[in-house]
Amino acid sequence: MHERDEDRRAQRKSKVQPSQVSRKKKNAKRRPGAKYGRAAYSAAVARACLAANVQHWHPNQLRHTHGTLVRKRYGLEGAQVALGHSQATVTEIYAERDLSLAARIAAEMG
């Protein structure tokens, strides 16, 4: 964060207002954590999507996509184990059905 702040200061085009010169608190009660929490990670992804001008997505979509790919390759039970679900009904929510199987059946049966 320190490096990021230095870079932003170096790129500044206007003068810094006196009240903004040093806003850092020496003995702040809240300090940056060692890792991102769930909400902070989601907010960081949202900001990055805006900055990159791409469609917004949620980090949990990675879990859904992984579940769908595992289900397609290894079946429902494989996806259940990979996602750590104790019940297959939960896995069915996360991992979408393989619609290509329905298309293959329709093509073979007419």
Query: Which residue ranges make up each domain of the chain?
Result: 60-109
Let me know: does 32 contact 1? Beta carbons within 8 Å: yes
Which of 35-52 are b and which e, b meaning 16 or more Cβ less than 10 Å from the residue's Cβ? eeeeeeeeeebeeeeeee
Question: Which pLDDT score, from 0 to 100, does residue 2 have?
Answer: 81
Please state, as a whole number, how many other Cβ atoms lie within 10 Å of the Cβ of residue 110. 4
| Res. 18 pLDDT band, cuts 50 70 90 | confident
35-79 pLDDT, tens digit per residue, is 888 888 899 999 999 999 999 999 889 888 999 999 989 988 999
Question: Which pLDDT score, from 0 to 100, does residue 27 have?
Answer: 78
* 108 Cβ contact list (under 8 Å, min separation 6): none
